[in-house]
Amino acid sequence: MKYTIAVIPGDGIGPEVTNQAKKALDAIAEYYDHIFIYKEAQMGACAIESTGVPLPKETIEICKSADAILFGAIGDPKYDNSPEAKIRPEQGLLSIRKELGLYCNIRPVKVYDKLIKNSPLKRSVIEGTDIVIYRELTGGVYFGDRSLSEDKKTAYDGCSYSVDEISKVAHLAFKEAQLRKKVVTLVDKANVLETSRLWRKTVTEIAKEYKDVELRYQYLDNAVMQLLLDPKQYDVILSANLFGDILSEEASVIGGSIGLLASTSIGEKYALFEPIHGSFPQAKGKDIANPLASILSAALLLDYLGLQEEADAIERAVEKSIVLGITTQDIKGENQYAAPTSKVGDFIADYITHQDDSNLNFRNIHMGQSTII
């Protein structure tokens, strides 16, 4: 089959990790006989530099005409320390979410056995963790009115949610839970916030349509603690935009590195796939960033296109790279070689195109040290 994929490498390490995801997709195309046509587009600080805006119109057009979107990362230290800047790279990401109606962000969190020792948490606490976070993505305080008083001494960020906005993401979370362990935990701050009370009321109503799913409630302040004390209690976590952002980043500690977590952002018509990590400017161009989250985002993309077998092949290759220790510095074992970003990508691609090999010298062969099988 033939698919068009919009590719937005973005800023910082975005381009280098996205390149590895493309290698994995090219390998899939070769092995399974597909054609992927990549259409590159700009967003973020790089787009501000070349066009003056963080999200050029052309990028939106490219995304709308593609079958799916692969995105790298956004952000530049230049803007982090200038709160006065009116145009910011992150506006690009927020605008694309809004313009494409990507109201639901899905972030799976799982633990790879080999990496349990990389987590600061105990094996007994995290082993077997399997959570998926459903984060509302186009509402709440991220999209409320903002202002700064004339004397610049008071700032305001408004937060609003409608029943409709809450319902759309809640239905998706319940449907997902039906395919999993059938538990949805709604994380909110209903003891304080009016918006959270609307979330509770709305989600409680919706739960009646999913009788096989148990709905649990947790306050955010408790949840951030529970997530590290007993992550296995969760199946599907449902939360508002800002809370889901915080929870998912915290959850990356469980698996040992934020460089492992991929995400899907979906709406009625479009879907965008991205690692949850940021642009990691300190690592830019050094070939040291972990590309696995981006590669796993490509797997989620294939799954969305209905290419389940192909998505599984990428996941198996990622698992193999972890088991063999062909991984970047953030997840390498003690006294173990830290593979460059590009080598991890080469290994994954090679493993996909040579899935049927049972060569004992696998590690060397797939590191590109020999190509004769």
> Where do contacts with ligand IPM occur on this chain (CB under 6 A)?
74-75, 90, 93, 245, 276
**Shortest separation between residue 144's beta carbon and Mn ion, angstroms:** 18
CB nearer to ligand IPM: give 76 or 245. Answer: 245
Enumerate residues 6+ apart whose C-beta is below 8 A from 133. Answer: 105, 106, 107, 108, 109, 236, 237, 239, 244, 247, 248, 251
Q: Using CB under 5 A, list all residues that contact Mn ion.
A: 245
CB nearer to Mn ion: give 109 or 314. Answer: 109
CB nearer to Mn ion: give 282 or 361. Answer: 282
Position with the least CB separation from ligand IPM: 90
CB nearer to ligand IPM: give 3 or 71. Answer: 71
**Shortest separation between residue 239's beta carbon and ligand IPM, angstroms:** 12
- 14 touches, from Mn ion, ligand IPM, none (C-beta below 5 to 8 Å by class): none
**Shortest separation between residue 252's beta carbon and ligand IPM, angstroms:** 11
**Shortest separation between residue 90's beta carbon and Mn ion, angstroms:** 10
**Shortest separation between residue 142's beta carbon and ligand IPM, angstroms:** 7
- 90 touches, from ligand IPM, Mn ion, none (C-beta below 5 to 8 Å by class): ligand IPM
- 254 touches, from ligand IPM, Mn ion, none (C-beta below 5 to 8 Å by class): none
CB nearer to ligand IPM: give 116 or 159. Answer: 159
